[in-house]
């Protein structure tokens, strides 16, 4: 087995001295979909932001592709090949779909490769191809989520992190997003997915972690966690 693409070691992040991520360790293996399941306020967004360089951890290490990236800026992290699809999508609502996609490639110089990736993204999301000149803010919630994923892919990531892509979407749309995540993974992009929707996350996961009050309390394959009594009661409502 090769080294994991991402390793988080004993990470701590606090807001005004109150820990939100409290000694988290996890690994994302190459070629896999890894997911983190946790309820509201568990620390998922804080953890993702720290890995993406948007928050400085107070302790611990983040290694990506074998390099220590702890404390690097968000731009530097993107340049190394790690891109976050943030919670709430953070699109530019008055800009067109095309221009939103282009902003995802802002760190890239190779125009030919950017054009090729633009075409590739449109093959993942044919609906966006039909709406290239439309304002992003006029898209449906599911289409906006697709645009947020497409924009992140325009940075040509090795590892794509997604923070709650299913939030606010109807079940059929969630299933479409899940299928797209599977396809992106099959095309060679490693995935770290954070979700309150344990059903979606565990179905996709080759490896899954449960995050509670800033700590990892369970881990295993998606199938193993789906069988766990605790997960079934607390996260799957069974
Ligand atoms: P959600 O699903 O609501 O986004 P989450 O699992 O992503 O939840 P975080 O947003 O990371 O959780 O929040 C973890 C803890 O940190 C919560 O107790 C939250 O209230 C607190 N927190 C988050 N952001 C801040 C902030 N900017 N300042 C102070 N406390 C914060």
Assembly ipTM: 0.93
Residues 6+ apart with CB under 8 A from 221: 205, 206, 207, 208
Q: Torsion angle of alpha carbons 105, 84, 138, 177, nearest 10°?
A: 110
Give the CATH number of the domain where residue 198 resides. 3.40.50.300
Residues 146-205 have pLDDT tens digits of 999 999 999 999 999 999 999 888 899 999 999 999 999 999 999 999 999 999 999 999
Q: Is residue 215 part of a domain?
A: yes
CA of 104 to the centre of ligand 1 (A): 26
Q: How many domains does the chain have?
A: 1
pLDDT of residue 68: 97
Q: Which of 11, 15, 48 to mutate to test the pocket of ligand 1 (most atoms within 8 A of CB)?
A: 15
Q: Is residue 22 part of a domain?
A: yes
pLDDT of residue 11: 98
166 lies in which domain range?
6-89+157-234
Q: Which of 16, 19, 20, 35 to mutate to test the pocket of ligand 1 (most atoms within 8 A of CB)?
A: 20
Position in ligand 1 atom list of the atom nearest CA 163: 7
pLDDT of residue 234: 86
Q: Is the pLDDT of residue 1 over 80?
A: no
pLDDT of residue 209: 97
pLDDT of residue 89: 79
Ligand 1 contacts CB of residue 46 (under 6 A):
yes
Contact (CB, 8 A) for 86 and 44: no
Distance CA 77, CA 71 (A): 9
Ligand 1 contacts CB of residue 41 (under 6 A):
yes
Q: Is residue 117 part of a domain?
A: no
Ligand 1 contacts CB of residue 15 (under 6 A):
yes
CA of 79 to the centre of ligand 1 (A): 27
Q: Is residue 224 part of a domain?
A: yes
Contact (CB, 8 A) for 71 and 113: no
Residues 215-226 have pLDDT tens digits of 999 999 999 999
Residue nearest to atom 25 of ligand 1 (CA): 15
CA of 41 to the centre of ligand 1 (A): 5
Q: Is residue 39 part of a domain?
A: yes
**pTM (predicted TM-score):** 0.94
pLDDT of residue 45: 95
Q: Say if strands 6-15 and 59-64 run parallel, antiparallel, or are unpaired.
A: antiparallel
Q: Is residue 98 part of a domain?
A: no
Please name which of 154, 215, 146, 153 lies closest in space to residue 178, comparing C-alpha atoms: 146
Q: Is residue 118 part of a domain?
A: no
Contact (CB, 8 A) for 150 and 142: no
Ligand 1 contacts CB of residue 83 (under 6 A):
no
**Three-class SS string for 126-188?**
HHHHHCCCCEHHHCCHHHHHHHHHHHHHCCCCCEEEEECCCCCCCHHHHHHHHHHHHHHHHCC
Residues 102-157 have pLDDT tens digits of 999 988 889 899 999 999 999 999 999 999 999 999 999 999 999 999 999 999 99
Q: Is the pLDDT of residue 237 over 90?
A: no
Distance CA 39, CA 212 (A): 7
Residue nearest to atom 3 of ligand 1 (CA): 40
Residues 81-114 have pLDDT tens digits of 999 998 877 899 999 999 999 999 988 889 899 9
Q: Is the pLDDT of residue 2 over 70?
A: yes
CA of 50 to the centre of ligand 1 (A): 12
Ligand 1 contacts CB of residue 213 (under 6 A):
no
Q: Is residue 62 part of a domain?
A: yes
Ligand 1 contacts CB of residue 20 (under 6 A):
yes
């Amino acid at each position: 087995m090769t080294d994991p693409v991402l390793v988080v070691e004993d990470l701590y992040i606090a807001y005004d001295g109150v820990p939100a991520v409290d000694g988290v360790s996890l690994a994302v293996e190459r070629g896999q979909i890894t997911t983190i399941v946790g309820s509201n306020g568990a620390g998922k967004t804080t953890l993702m932001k720290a890995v993406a360089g948007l928050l400085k951890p107070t302790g611990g290490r983040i290694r990506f592709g074998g390099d220590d990236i702890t404390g690097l800026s968000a731009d530097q992290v993107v340049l190394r090949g790690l891109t976050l699809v943030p919670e709430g999508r953070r699109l530019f609502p008055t800009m067109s779909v095309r221009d939103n996609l282009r902003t995802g490639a802002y760190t890239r110089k190779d125009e030919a490769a950017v054009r090729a990736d633009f075409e590739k993204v449109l093959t993942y999301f044919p609906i966006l191809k039909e709406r290239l000149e439309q304002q992003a803010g006029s898209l449906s919630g599911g289409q906006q989520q697709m645009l947020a994923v497409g924009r992140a892919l325009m940075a040509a990531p090795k590892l794509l992190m997604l923070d709650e892509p299913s939030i606010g979407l109807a079940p059929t749309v969630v299933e479409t997003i899940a299928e797209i995540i599977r396809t992106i993974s099959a095309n060679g992009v490693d995935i770290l997915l954070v979700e309150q929707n344990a059903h979606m996350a565990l179905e996709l996961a080759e490896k899954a972690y449960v995050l509670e009050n800033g700590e990892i309390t369970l881990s295993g394959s998606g199938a193993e966690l789906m069988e766990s009594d605790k997960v079934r009661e607390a996260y799957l409502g069974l």
